[in-house]
Structure 1
């Protein structure tokens, strides 16, 4: 696992969380109460394949352990794409990853480190992190939504992640009913076509002929660019509809939102809330909209939380 003598039993125990994204890989070390006691971020070698991606994460993890002298109890990994959490494999990945689909993530990590490893979809890990150590810690029912390059969703029900029989529970970004625009997944009219960072840029380009990033469109909206405002109004209204659908089907009225688009929170949140006010949930309970707190570490912390939960670690101060 690392150079030098093995740690003695009295050495503090930690859980590692790894977030393997298309651009960067984040590694954190967490105590049993999920306090981050070490972390690092490095570029993801996505073009070099699954072995290189996991190998890079393991190199970072070994270095963090060597520097801090902690004893590793287990590892959680959050990965973009569709995953088989039980088998510990990536099932489907975007074309930005090479040789990632089918890669045996947990078996590779366990073989290298000699400790149990667990795999989650990155959005599930994001919600797990926010629900155990972040903005919605202690809330029993939550919809998690990430507005990034795409739109991801996950559900926290009765204090645990609801995966569904096929691992796709909460995937609000890819249900139809939001127009007729083509989605990156091959479907049409999905929430992602209006509310993802990629789509915000595309919708602005369609209106103006000018190609801008979602951040630049947000900056233009703040300057009262009418086209930019219209694009963000459409995104906010679409997100509100997704929240209302979830509230109607699942009676879940708390939503935590993260991802790159959420950096425009002062612009986006009022638009979502205005749309929600126009049509409240059938239950009569207003939807509580919460901004994610853990930032870029949410997925990694959630992955560490998965490892902690699977291994039944005792949390200090909790009965």
Structure 2
């Protein structure tokens, strides 16, 4: 087949800080990729325009026919309607925004919306760290903390679309959360909260990545913030394991780049307080890294447009 005749699928990850875009072939091999800053404070249309702005040159230089687009977006989504239902205060004008329709109007191909962490987990199960696993909890540590469930060989969103949202489990103190609640896991283990907790200790405003860099110089406050994040993450995993009896966990997101700082605290706490089932937690770090969400979103578009079997390789 000529490259001009091949079928293409695009995957988009609209995160709180960065938007990632990939173009894949029918086997979901990434042919090209790009990223841009998410204009989260400028409203839904600005975020879609930014994503399309980086997708357009990828399509121009990648021969083939675009058959569908998958979008993984932060927040609670209505996949069937292609609309954002609830978003954190990191975003302006995002709740209620018709994502699928906005992208379809420009590209003229079917567009499928999913929660970004669902897409992340689908990508990792399709061809990443937990390929072929039947039951997995996915956790994304980014600007916020998101969760998703894969069970019985398929994504489980729950009756209200919020299954697996481990980041908004309470019981982790009393700090206000971005969702309006208090003491959620996100207030310990997200990139935003790591920076905020370090600032409370030191008066210095750093990003989560800068806090991680500070640990290399023996900064005890930076180390303590990451220890607390890891311990909180482990407690959330144990809670999920007790409720769901799922003990395979894949962790991704920007904060997971500092896994060497999180992992010791996570494993120490899990050793002290294992799941009630007695089965040890199997922890995996993302294999697809930044490609996980957009590739997972593209795989959803491939599945929906081809009507084939689930895009999961056993």
| TM-score (normalizing by structure 1) | 0.89
Higher Cα Rg, which structure: 1
More moved, 102-111 vs 70-79: 102-111
Backbone CA RMSD of aligned residues: 2.6
Q: CA-to-partner distance for each residue in 1:148-182, whole Å, 9 max, x for gaps?
A: 22111111112211111111000001011112222
Offset at residue 273 of structure 1 (A): 0.8
* Contact kept in structure 1, 2:22 and 2:34, CA below 8 Å: yes
1:244 aligned to 2:244? Answer: no
Q: Deviations over 1:196-218 (max 9, x none)?
A: 12212222232333333222332
User: 1:59: how far off?
Assistant: 4.2
- Number of corresponding residues: 313
Structure 1 residue 96: deviation in Å?
A: 4.4
2:291 matches 1:302: no
SS in 2 for 1:68: coil
1:166 aligns with 2:194: no
- The alignment partner of 1:154 has SS state of strand
- Report matched runs for 1:68-107 at 5 Å: 68-107=62-101
2:189 alignment partner, one of 185, 188, 195: 195
Match of 1:180 in 2: 174
Paired with 2:167 and 2:198, the residues of 1 have a C-alpha distance of 20
One of 125, 144, 154 as aligned partner of 2:148: 154
8 Å contact 1:142–1:156 — kept in the other structure?
yes
Moved more, 40-49 or 270-279: 40-49
Gaps of 5+ in 2: none
Listed as ranges, the matches of 1:1-319 within 5 Å are 11-311=5-305, 312-313=307-308
Quick check: 1:33–1:316 contact (8 Å CA) kept in 2? no
Cα deviation digits, residues 221-259 of structure 1 (max 9, x gap): 344333332222211111111111111111111111112
Query: The residue matched to 1:75 in structure 2 has which SS?
Result: strand
Distance in structure 2 (CA, Å) of the matches to 1:227 and 1:132: 39
**CA deviation digits over 1:102-161, x for unaligned, max 9?**
222112222333321110111111111111122111111111111122111111112211
Q: Residues 54-80 of structure 1: CA distance to partner in whole angstroms, max 9, x if unpaired?
A: 234334434323322211121111112
Question: What is the distance in 1 between the residues matched to 2:227 and 2:48?
Answer: 40
Mean Cα displacement is larger for which, 80-89 or 97-106?
97-106
Tell me, which stretches of 5 or more residues in structure 1 are unaligned? 1-7
* TM-score, normalising length: structure 2: 0.90
Q: Distance in 2 between matches of 1:42 and 1:182?
A: 29
The Cα of 1:95 is off from its aligned counterpart by 4.3
- Supply the distance in 1 between the matched residues of 2:175 and 2:49 (Cα, whole angstroms): 39
Deviation at 1:48, TM superposition (A): 4.3
CA distance in 1, matches of 2:297, 2:34: 15
Alignment partners' CA distance in 1, 2:132 and 2:313 = 13
